Structure 1
Amino acid sequence: MASFKCDIVTPAEKLLTTEAEMVVVPGVEGEMGFLAGHAPLVSALADGEIRLTPAGGGAVQRFEVKGGYVQVTGDKVIILADSAQPVAA
């Protein structure tokens, strides 16, 4: 499956930069999932959980997020969160 770059950024730090196959975020109107080549989009985030499937397989990474925005281009997803932290497996 094709991959894309994903960044999770908070006001305090750049939490993650990785290659992903899929990212699911909590939007204010429900969950949104993104794959490589997704149409450009900017949307507000709700409080909830981000699920990120890394490129090449592996365990899904989970992050708890509190508000913010997501920006999607054809080859990158940027999550600008008010706060975010990894969820223990």
Structure 2
Amino acid sequence: MAVLNVSLVSADQEVWSGEASMVVAKTVEGEIGILPGHEPLLAILAHGEVRLTLVGGEKLVADASDGFLSVEGNAVQVVARRAALV
């Protein structure tokens, strides 16, 4: 089973990193869902939630703003000026 290798960082710390089966984030163009095998992507984050579904089914939610989301292969990087788990 393919997984996403996710890194969520803010300006001053790594907020979370690990494996997830899905990432949902709010961008300036609307909400986007990322699954393994997604096309390469670079998007600007809007203020809102980044929702992670972990491989075991557990859910994590972070509040993030002012940054970007990058997808390359099965690697997802969320870089925000401000981000924190809620």
TM-score bucket (shorter structure): over 0.9
Unaligned runs of 5+ in 2: none
Alpha-carbon shift at residue 67 of structure 1 (Å): 1.6
Unaligned runs of 5+ in 1: none
AA matched with 1:6: V
Alpha-carbon shift at residue 56 of structure 1 (Å): 2.3
Return structure 1 stretches of 4+ with deviation > 2 angstroms.
none
Is 1:39 the equivalent of 2:39?
yes
TM-score by length of 2: 0.94
- Determine helix, strand or coil for the equivalent of 1:38: coil
AA matched with 2:53: T
Q: Spell out the pairing of 1:1-89 with structure 2 (5 A cutoff).
A: 2-58=2-58, 60-87=59-86
- RMSD over aligned Cα atoms: 1.0
Report % sequence identity.
40
AA matched with 1:32: I
* Structure with greater strand share of residues: 2
Alpha-carbon shift at residue 10 of structure 1 (Å): 1.1
* Whole-Å separation in 1 of the counterparts to 2:56 and 2:61: 17
| Number of equivalenced pairs | 86
